[in-house]
Amino acid sequence: MMKVAVLKETCPTEQRVALVPANVPQLAKAGIEVVVEGGAGEAAGFLDAQYVEKGAKIVARDELFSADIIAQVRTLGANKDSGRDDLGKFRNGQIVVGMCDPLGEPGSAVEIGETGASLFALEMIPRITRAQSMDVLSSMATIAGYRAVLLAAIELPKIFPMLMTAAGTLTPARVFIVGVGVAGLQAIATAKRLGGVVHAYDVRPACREQVESLGGKFVELELQAGEAEDKGGYAKAMGEEFYRKQRELMASVVAESDVVITTAAIPGKQSPLLITADAVKGMAPGGVIVDLATERGGNCELSQADTRVVEHGVTILGPTNLPSEIPNHASQMYSNNVTKFLLNLIKDGNVELNLEDEIIRDTLVAHEGQLLNARMRDILGMEPLPVPEPMPEPEETDSPSQDAEANSTDTDVDDDSGEKAKEADE
């Protein structure tokens, strides 16, 4: 049977696990055996006995590396401190599946590729309907958006809802969400459920309907955003002049808010600076900012990664791994994503590297010693990989009908493979 190994995460702040017991039977039906390192799921509330009950085997860490597939939450690129300890244990033909910060740490994918192992970067799952059930970024952003509001509620010296009591009326907290992606939408929904008055802004005007559907009010800034969204549905980086004007206009909204939660991040690039030190100074004492973009520099000028900062009477939090703070449900969502991905990758008990499948093609970033992803190669200054030569035209035969049929078939294959190669190169 194809064997998938689940490692205990070695990143000091990581409490999630790549697969939970509930998904083991699904994989077993597909001819996939699951082996788990002892204690791999304990931090998330999944005991070894639960894995065994569902059909998995508990083995020592060194034995796991004989498996066909290694499943992790954080591979080397997303675990720079401890991830290198396992690098020498990967082998030729093995598959590593997990998050690896491909656009932020592309060199780590090269290192894994040099071991002969193939690396699937789950952050590169394409935003297509068929891949929604595998989208780890959306799953983890959902958890982060929810958790961010709870952290803000704990720090805020006010309550979120309006209360009318015999002791007087308490006005509701004003919450401003910057960035209306998955994390931002969940933050809006959570803040609204807690009773806050919620405003939200995104550089993409099309987000207005989503904000309003959750009970929030969309903030309009007089800016020309132009093409603010890429074909994958993510916000694009804008020019510095645009961000300068955005900061000026946004400062007045920040000053009126009790809580500000920022989620604006550009994959693989520095997070845009949206809230200056002066804007923080304009907030009322007791205000709270939760900056979810701190890992790449932050949206707030005063935020620091994984540090609680107090400036001008305002508390600024810069968490970088909120999903790990809710490890049980975060692991459940991540495990469901990984399971769907593996079931798409493995057919009849064997790995099927079908590069015509957009999901497999886009996530396979290292294979047979080569870094395949064009964006990652460009970041590292590497030459683009050569585009495969198109198939030659078939030679003429004595049978006109057979010749026409062969030409028709081969032309279709030629056009399709050429188009797919072009897409992969782009």
Q: What is the pLDDT of residues 66-96, one digit of tens each?
A: 999 999 999 999 999 899 999 999 999 999 9
CATH classification of the domain holding 213: 3.40.50.720
In the DSSP assignment, the letter for residue 352 is: -
Picking from 363, 379, 395, the residue at the C-terminal end of a domain is 379
**314 and 180 in a common domain:** yes
Task: Find the range with the poorest average confidence among 216-230, 278-292, 385-399.
Answer: 385-399
Helix/strand/coil percent split, the chain, to 5:
40, 20, 40
Annotation says 127 is catalytic: yes
Annotation says 201 is catalytic: no
Annotation says 132 is catalytic: yes
To the nearest 10 degrees (0 to 180), the angle between helices 136-155 and 327-345 is 170
**222 and 251 in a common domain:** yes
Q: Which residues of 13-48 are buried (b: 16+ CB within 10 A; e: fewer)?
A: ebbbbbbbbebbebbeeeebbbbbbeebbebbebeb
Annotation says 258 is catalytic: no
3 state DSSP class of 378: helix
Q: Per the structure, how many domains does the chain have?
A: 2
Query: Does residue 331 belong to any structural domain of this protein?
Result: yes
Beta-strand pair 346-347/350-351: antiparallel
Q: Which domain holds residue 66?
A: 2-135+326-379
Query: Does residue 419 belong to any structural domain of this protein?
Result: no
Distance CA 406, CA 25 (A): 45
Residues near 194 by beta carbon (within 8 Å), at least 6 away in sequence: 149, 153, 160, 161
Query: Does residue 405 belong to any structural domain of this protein?
Result: no
**34 and 105 in a common domain:** yes
Q: Which of 86, 101, 135, 202 is catalytic?
A: 135
Picking from 307, 325, 343, the residue at the C-terminal end of a domain is 325
| Tens-place pLDDT, residues 164-195 | 999 999 999 999 999 999 999 999 999 999 99
Q: Which of 127, 304, 414, 417 is catalytic?
A: 127
Helices (H) then strands (E): counts for the chain: 13, 19
Distance CA 328, CA 370 (A): 36
Q: Which of 108, 138, 324, 331 is catalytic?
A: 138
DSSP letter string, 255-283:
HT-SEEEE----TTSPPPP-B-HHHHHTS
Query: Pick the residue with more confidence: 415 or 116?
Result: 116
Nearest in space to 237 (alpha carbons), one of 303, 297, 278, 280: 297
Query: Does residue 387 belong to any structural domain of this protein?
Result: no
Contact between residue 73 and residue 98 where contact means Cβ atoms under 8 Å apart: yes
**Which amino acid is located at 216 in the chain?**
G
pLDDT of residue 163: 95
Mean pLDDT of the chain: 89
* Contacts for 414-421: CB closer than 8 Å, 24+ residues apart: 414/390, 416/356, 417/388, 417/390, 417/391, 418/390, 420/355, 420/356, 420/361, 421/387, 421/388
pLDDT of residue 248: 87
**115 and 23 in a common domain:** yes
Annotation says 94 is catalytic: no
3 state DSSP class of 117: coil
**Which amino acid is located at 3 in the chain?**
K
Q: How confident is the model at residue 420 (pLDDT cuts 50, 70, 90)?
A: very low
**274 and 217 in a common domain:** yes
In the DSSP assignment, the letter for residue 325 is: G
**89 and 225 in a common domain:** no
- Span 252-257, average pLDDT: 96
| Tens-place pLDDT, residues 19-69 | 999 999 999 999 999 999 999 999 999 999 999 999 999 999 999 999 999
**319 and 192 in a common domain:** yes
Query: Does residue 109 belong to any structural domain of this protein?
Result: yes
Residues near 212 by beta carbon (within 8 Å), at least 6 away in sequence: 218
**Which amino acid is located at 250 in the chain?**
M
| Tens-place pLDDT, residues 121-142 | 999 999 999 999 999 999 999 9
Distance CA 355, CA 370 (A): 15
Distance CA 323, CA 415 (A): 44
Strand partners, 165: 168
Query: Does residue 255 belong to any structural domain of this protein?
Result: yes
* Residue 424: pLDDT over 80: no
**356 and 229 in a common domain:** no
Q: Which of 68, 82, 133, 234 is catalytic?
A: 234
* Residue 412: pLDDT over 80: no
Percent of the chain past pLDDT 70, that is, above it, reads 87
Contact between residue 32 and residue 103 where contact means Cβ atoms under 8 Å apart: no
Query: Does residue 417 belong to any structural domain of this protein?
Result: no
Q: Which of 81, 84, 85, 132 is catalytic?
A: 132
Residue matched to tokens 């810069």: 318
* Residue 238: pLDDT over 90: no
**127 and 245 in a common domain:** no
**287 and 161 in a common domain:** yes
3 state DSSP class of 397: coil
Query: Does residue 118 belong to any structural domain of this protein?
Result: yes
Residue 86 has which token pair? 């396992």
Task: Find the range with the poorest average confidence among 264-278, 330-344, 384-398.
Answer: 384-398
**297 and 229 in a common domain:** yes
* Residue 406: pLDDT over 50: no
**Could you tell me the CA-to-CA distances from 354 to 245, 296, 344, 385 in Å, in that order?**
46, 34, 10, 18
**92 and 192 in a common domain:** no
Distance CA 219, CA 52 (A): 52
